[in-house]
Amino acid sequence: MKKYLWITVLVLPWVFSGCGAYLNQPMKTTRARLGEETPFNFHLRNLPKPEEPIIVAVYKLRDQTGQYKPSEIGTSWSTAVTQGATNILIKTLMDSGWFTVIERENVGNLLNERKIIRSTRMEFNKDNAGQALISPLLFAGMIIEGGIVSYESNIMTGGIGVRYFGAGGSGKYRQDRVTVYLRAIATKSGRVLKNVYTSKTLLSQAVDGGLFRFVKFSRLLEVETGFTYNEPADMAVTEAIEKAVYSLILEGAQEGLWRADDTQQGLMKGAMAAYEKEKEEMEDIDLLGRESLRQDYYSAFSLSGVSLLYQGDYPNPVFQPGVEAGITAVFSKSLSFHLGFGKSSLASEQAFDRKITYFDGSVRFRMLPNDRFSPFLFGGGGLMMPDGAMPVNNVASNALLKINAGLGLEYFVTDYIGLELALDNNYIMSDGLDGVVSGKYNDFFYRSRLGVKYYLGRNKKK
């Protein structure tokens, strides 16, 4: 019974982690409905109102990616992104309330229809040619150009799974990325007034679980379940275009190309401040959406609490607290050298308890040098000095050599302050620490460390 309970505990999290898709499976056809809005559309519609809407022309927002839809089997000739991005852009411009959009994508059809109107009026109003005229077309003071410039598939993939005696489950994901560029062009001069770009990631997930087992002789139980979810590409393109139009409006207002209504100036200042803050934050964000470091460091100081666990010739070791201070020389974002000084003790439950002081130096390798959160590896050696003289190989000595190696995690809370968690094994080059020489291996101890580190360096932006 316990075995089946353990299998159930393994499988169920995969099912319920995506219960939104799993519990809303389509069981029947649905009626047509109005199109869904993206989460960002609310912010676009709530921009401060303009002093006067700007007349703009949109000729074509092209798919410039040259990409076809990814396919795991065979070849797909469907394009990766929508070919109707011009329609999305026109709706977005109108939703913002800042633009009056005039038809230019199919302007030939418009001109032909106007010719038909004129010829029809002239035919039925031969005596009054003036009535055959129709009002002139609006002309645009600005043209919106741009395109969907890239669609990158599989910028990040991953998964996990477990199976035990025919029961188990698995999950995998894939992340794609679409990028949109927009530019505003002055009609009279041809000057590019503003050029902005935005990007949006698309997430695809698949989760499955199953059981394949003989419950009795000649009785086979087989169960399978799962779901997949693919974020719609057209919704991702729509949100990227909406963000681009939003950026175009605010950046143009900052440079005085257009302005909000006098009654909306307070709201406009707040929107601009929030936009500037977002731009500053984006300077620290990498391609995968992770916050990266923008400093060049050259040294650091640390203070940590430690816990040592003795592993020697006496049984029943116990954890002993201590303190450690250190200084680090930073050679590059990946490589550094750390010197540490600490005091603690090593002990077992009854027979052994000895205070120690240690010095060690270690080379550290940071695996994700540009990220705020990164694992690191380290290794080195040093000296350990127990209280009182110790007989080591029949020679009195107060200092023991040791080597150490371990791994850790580091997270930068701010640009200059980091939190560090590390665990390492310290192997003593002698078996005399506890006064007993016995067994195949020398005495050693485990050290866990949690501390804070302050870095010295300069900001690359400055």
Q: What is the pLDDT of residues 367-409, one digit of tens each?
A: 988 888 899 999 999 998 887 655 444 444 578 899 999 999 9
Q: Got the DSSP string for 321-342?
A: EEEEEEEEEE-SSSEEEEEEEE
Say if strands 142-164 and 353-366 run parallel, antiparallel, or are unpaired: unpaired
pLDDT at 7: 47
Domain ranges within the chain, ordered by starting residue: 2-23+35-104+140-282, 296-459
Q: What is the mean pLDDT of the chain?
A: 86
DSSP E strands in 42-166: the ranges are: 54-58, 62-63, 99-103, 142-164
Total residue length of the chain = 462
pLDDT at 20: 55
Please state the rounded mean pLDDT for residues 231-255: 93
Choice between 337 and 153, residue whose per-residue pLDDT is larger: 337
Please state the rounded mean pLDDT for residues 104-114: 90
Class of domain 2-23+35-104+140-282: alpha beta
pLDDT at 460: 58
Amino acid (one-letter) located at 60: K
Instruction: List Cα–Cα distances, 223 to 1, 21, 24, 211, 425, in angstroms.
Output: 19, 19, 20, 5, 45
Class of domain 296-459: mainly beta
| pLDDT tens-digit map of 112-155 | 999 998 888 887 776 665 566 788 888 999 999 999 999 988 88
15: its two tokens: 């099912």
Q: Would the CA dihedral through 377, 383, 386, 392 be positive or negative? A: positive
Instruction: List Cα–Cα distances, 196 to 90, 199, 240, 244, 250, in angstroms.
Output: 17, 11, 11, 6, 11
Kindly report the pTM of this predicted structure.
Answer: 0.75
Check if the beta carbon of residue 59 is closer than 8 Å to that of residue 144: no
pLDDT at 22: 56
Q: How far apart are the first and last CA of the chain?
A: 64
Torsion angle defined by CA atoms of residues 319, 323, 327 and 332, in that order, rounded to the nearest 10 degrees? 40
| pLDDT tens-digit map of 52-61 | 999 999 999 9
4: its two tokens: 């089946």
> pLDDT above 70 covers what percent of the chain?
88
